[in-house]
Chain A
Amino acid sequence: MKIEVFGPGCYRCQQVEKTVRDALSELNISADIEKVKDMGKIVEAGIMLTPGLRIEGKVVCSGRIPKIEEVKKWIEKVK
């Protein structure tokens, strides 16, 4: 599974990455987590409000830090 976290590397983006890691370990699933910091790529992905989260090529949330339950739901949906 491919999970991308979009953001220039500020506090909120790190929180999203942490939430994703926690969700993965709670579900016992392994995935590639990629941090995308390049502004050009963030814009190309169609994300305007960072931090953004993309799971398997689908943007699931942007502009906020999702709750761990939400992340779990999104991961299980594409599993």
Chain B
Amino acid sequence: MDKRTIFAVGIIILIFGIILVYEWGGAWKGYKNTMEQSDIITARVLEEKHIPIYMLIIVTTIEYIKNSWLCLLLAFIAAGALQEFVPKDKVIKVMGSNRGFVPYLIGGAGGPLLSMCSCSIIPIFGGLYKRGAGLGPSITFLLAAPAVNPAAVLLTLALLGWKFAVARIIFAIGAGILVGYITERVMKDKISAPEPIHIEAGADTGPEQKAGYVKRILNMLLYSWEFVKIVLPLILLGVIFAGLIKAFLPPAFIVKYLGVGIFPIMLASAIGVLMYAPSMVEAPLIRGLLESGMGTGASMAHLLTGPALSLPSILGVCKIVSPKVPVVYGTLMWICGVIAGLTFWFLVPAFLI
């Protein structure tokens, strides 16, 4: 552990400490109040039918931004800190160099350290696999990382509440490890081991090593700004979709197909496996659906399978491993989504903010 790593860990702990203190401390009350007030405003708007549809979308947008701006701000700073201070090449080395159960744990929990953008997961998956990290841990990483990255978790916390956020982390890491392990067991004898590839040593993967702390914090903020530019449009897209759902999809329709029960959970899990949605869109989208009558179980199933899997990601993975592998882990992940949905539905039967 050199000085630089210790400093990095310190900064990251500090940021998450601020978030925790804010959420569970005195500020929580005021935060809650604004939430309730904005809910009342939406309810009133919904009652008055003569209000045009675009107003509903605008009100939804304002309400969601009001609820999540602070968490978002901290999420962006945290993302910048991870990008600037975490030596990614070292994390990858640790992930690929252990045997037994440890790589699974690192694959599940190490995801948040490495990636913010869901499109960058597949090359890391491919690299881990071809470097000999093992099929199982690579799949664990592929499935868990998009769902537990700090920005997605904080957005879930802001828009869906702590129950969803905590359950999402536990289910995503648990399902990732389980699916990775079973897939490796099932596929071990059916596919050939990857040809080891030469990885260019000495390629510059990190920021300049000798920069001073002030410069590094400036760098961190620059990275944060970069994330704002990438992620904010995605979130707005999700919020607008949520508004559209509230405006056009009749609640009866949502209750029927995505409401309470086992069938909606199975359906939501399947949609999550196949549909592509950038990893920041799903939190506002799910909130919109919840407000229109989606069941909590179905929401959790979708939150778990949605970011982890999609047809484009499955096609990308097919170029690295045999197409049988995505079929196996896709099916397993769907089952995990159903189980997680049922568990969460049992624990949290109704969505209350």
Taken residue by residue from 127 to 142, chain B's Cβ proximity to chain A (1 for < 8 Å, 0 otherwise) reads as 1101000000000000
Least distance between A74 CB and chain B CB atoms (Å): 9
Q: Is A59 an interface residue (CB 8 A)?
A: yes
Contact A49 B316 (CB under 8 A): no
**B114 — which chain A residues lie within 8 A by C-beta?**
49
Contact A46 B199 (CB under 8 A): yes
User: What is the CA–CA distance of A51 and B319 in the complex, to the nearest angstrom?
Assistant: 19
Q: Is B56 an interface residue (CB 8 A)?
A: no
**A8 — which chain B residues lie within 8 A by C-beta?**
119-120, 122-123, 316
User: What is the CA–CA distance of A7 and B119 in the complex, to the nearest angstrom?
Assistant: 9
List CB contacts (< 8 Å) of A34-76 with chain B.
Answer: 38-40, 42-44, 46-50, 58-65
State which of B29-37, B200-208, B260-268, B326-334 sits at the interface with chain A.
B200-208
Contact A63 B127 (CB under 8 A): no
Given A40-B319, A46-B198, are A60 and B204 also a contact pair (CB < 8 Å)? yes
B120 partner, pick from A43, A49, A58, A60, beta carbons under 8 A:
A49
Contact B126 A63 (CB under 8 A): no
Contact B119 A39 (CB under 8 A): no
Interface size for A (C-beta < 8 A) is 26
**A63 — which chain B residues lie within 8 A by C-beta?**
88, 205-206
**Closest chain A residue to B229, Cβ basis:** A11
User: What is the CA–CA distance of A6 and B127 in the complex, to the nearest angstrom?
Assistant: 14
Q: Is A78 an interface residue (CB 8 A)?
A: no
A10 partner, pick from B120, B199, B207, beta carbons under 8 A:
B120
Contact B117 A12 (CB under 8 A): yes
* Secondary structure class of chain B's binding surface, majority of residues: helix
A50 partner, pick from B120, B203, B320, beta carbons under 8 A:
B120
**Closest chain A residue to B131, Cβ basis:** A48
Contact B319 A61 (CB under 8 A): no
Interface bracket on B: 20 to 34
**A47 — which chain B residues lie within 8 A by C-beta?**
123, 127
**Closest chain A residue to B316, Cβ basis:** A39
Taken residue by residue from 76 to 92, chain B's Cβ proximity to chain A (1 for < 8 Å, 0 otherwise) reads as 00000001000010001
A43 partner, pick from B83, B119, B123, B205, beta carbons under 8 A:
B123
Q: Is B291 an interface residue (CB 8 A)?
A: no
**B319 — which chain A residues lie within 8 A by C-beta?**
38-40
Given A11-B230, A39-B316, A40-B319, are A64 and B207 also a contact pair (CB < 8 Å)? yes
Contact A49 B124 (CB under 8 A): yes
Contact B127 A48 (CB under 8 A): yes
List CB contacts (< 8 Å) of B192-240 with chain A.
Answer: 197-200, 203-207, 226, 229-230
Extra contacts besides A48-B123, A62-B205 (17): CB < 8 Å = A8-B123, A8-B316, A10-B120, A12-B120, A39-B126, A39-B317, A43-B320, A44-B197, A46-B199, A46-B203, A48-B127, A49-B114, A49-B123, A60-B203, A61-B204, A61-B205, A63-B205
Rank and list the top 8 A-B pairs by shortest CB-CB distance, nearest first: A48-B127, A43-B126, A40-B319, A46-B199, A59-B203, A59-B200, A39-B316, A10-B119
A-to-B contact residues, CB < 8 Å: 6-12, 38-40, 42-44, 46-50, 58-65
B-to-A contact residues, CB < 8 Å: 83, 88, 92, 114, 117, 119-120, 122-124, 126-128, 130, 197-200, 203-207, 226, 229-230, 316-317, 319-320
5 residue pairs from A and B, CB less than 8 Å apart: A10-B120, A39-B320, A48-B127, A59-B203, A62-B203
